[in-house]
Amino acid sequence: MADIVDIAVSAGAFKTLVVAVQAANLVDVLKSPGPFTVFAPNDDAFAKLPPGTITTLVQNIPQLARILTFHVVAGRWKTSDLQGITELTSVEGSPIKINLAHGFEVKNATVIAADIEADNGIIHVIDNVILMG
């Protein structure tokens, strides 16, 4: 099995996320043993951001790193582990709302592919970039 980064690279639907993780110097962290749960916005999710947002973030590495680490939770959280859980704390430190009442929602995003196993954690693909606050 591959790690979180290798899976994101090989999937082909996470080009923007991979570039952002590289720019923020988070590759080594996401290749470490973890385990981590990553709520991974696909390229379509990043495309929903206002024009110029990604360029601005790549030029502001601390803010980019903060947003990316908001998408990561310590531990291996499969959908079945989240039953009855309404909130997780991100690696960034802010809470992430979890709602399994009608599908699987994470803050303002819907999980469109859940429980993708990696050597060092779990990936849940989401349809929006989530932001703190």
pTM, two decimals, is 0.96
Confidence (pLDDT) at 1: 83
Report d(CA 94, CA 87) in Å as an integer.
10
5-63 confidence digits (pLDDT tens)? 999 999 999 999 999 999 999 999 999 999 999 999 999 999 999 999 989 998 999 99
Q: Which residues, in sequence order, are bridge partners of residue 41?
A: 126
69-128 confidence digits (pLDDT tens)? 999 999 999 999 999 999 999 999 999 999 999 999 999 999 999 999 999 999 999 999
- Name the superfamily (CATH) of residues 4-126: FAS1 domain (2.30.180.10)
Alpha helices in the chain (DSSP H): 4-11, 15-23, 27-31, 43-47, 53-58, 61-70
**Axis-axis angle for helices 4-11, 15-23 (nearest 10):** 140
Report d(CA 63, CA 126) in Å as an integer.
20
